[in-house]
Structure 1
Amino acid sequence: MLIVKPRTDALSDLEPIEEPLPSIDAEEIEPRFRAVVGRGGERRGIRLERIYWDGLGRMSTSGKMSTADLVHYTASQMPESGNLASLLRVLSLKWALRRLDTVEDISSMANTNAIIQASPSPTILLTHDKKVQLFNDPFLSMLRQRLPMTDTAQLTKGLRFSIDTHIEEAIATLERNKGKTLNTGFTITVGTQTMKGQINLALAPTHEKSMLIGYISRY
Structure 2
Amino acid sequence: MLIAKPRSTDLANAAPTEEPLPVIGAEEIEPRFRAVVGRGGERRGIRLERIYWDGLGRMSSAGKMTTSDLVHYTASQMPESGNLASLLRVLSLKWALRRLDAVEDVASMANLNAVIQASPSPTILLTQDKKIHLFNDPFLSMLRQRLPLGDTAQLTRSLRFSIDTQIEQAITTLNLNRGKTLNTGFSIGVGTQSMRGQVNLALAPTHEKSMLIGYISRY
Task: With the length of structure 1 as denominator, give the TM-score of the two structures.
Answer: 0.94
Aligned ranges for residues 167-206 of structure 1 at < 5 Å?
A: 167-206=167-206
Residue type matched to 1:162 in 2? S
Query: Which shows bigger deviation, 188-197 or 61-70?
Result: 188-197
How far apart are 1:10 and its partner, in Å?
A: 5.8
The answer to whether 1:19 aligns with 2:19 is yes
Moved over 3 A (4+): 6-12
Task: With the length of structure 2 as denominator, give the TM-score of the two structures.
Answer: 0.94
Q: How many residues align?
A: 214
SS at match of 2:162: strand
Q: What is the alpha-carbon distance in structure 1 between the residues aligned to residue 24 and residue 118 of structure 2?
A: 43
1:40 to 1:12, Cα distance in 2 relative to 1, 3 A: farther
Residue type matched to 1:170 in 2? A
Give CA deviations for 1:188-207 in whole Å, capped at 9, x if unaligned.
11112111110000000111
Q: What is the alpha-carbon distance in structure 2 between the residues aligned to residue 151 and residue 27 of structure 1?
A: 61
Residue type matched to 2:114 in 1? A
How far apart are 1:164 and its partner, in Å?
A: 0.2
How far apart are 1:16 and its partner, in Å?
A: 1.6
Q: Counterpart of 2:3?
A: none
How far apart are 1:74 and its partner, in Å?
A: 0.2
How far apart are 1:150 and its partner, in Å?
A: 4.3
Q: Counterpart of 1:3?
A: none
Contiguous gaps of at least 5 residues in structure 2: 1-5
Residue type matched to 1:27 in 2? E
Q: What is the alpha-carbon distance in structure 2 between the residues aligned to residue 92 and residue 102 of structure 1?
A: 16
How far apart are 1:141 and its partner, in Å?
A: 0.3
Q: What is the alpha-carbon distance in structure 2 between the residues aligned to residue 49 and residue 64 of structure 1?
A: 23
Q: Counterpart of 1:107?
A: 107
Q: Counterpart of 1:60?
A: 60
Q: Counterpart of 1:96?
A: 96
Q: Counterpart of 2:120?
A: 120
1:211 to 1:165, Cα distance in 2 relative to 1, 3 A: same
The answer to whether 1:163 aligns with 2:154 is no
Give CA deviations for 1:43-90 in whole Å, capped at 9, x if unaligned.
111010000000000000000000000000000000000000000000
Q: What is the alpha-carbon distance in structure 2 between the residues aligned to residue 9 and residue 58 of structure 1?
A: 41
Residue type matched to 2:122 in 1? P
CA contact (8 A) 1:11 1:109 kept: no
Contiguous gaps of at least 5 residues in structure 1: 1-5
CA contact (8 A) 1:202 1:213 kept: yes
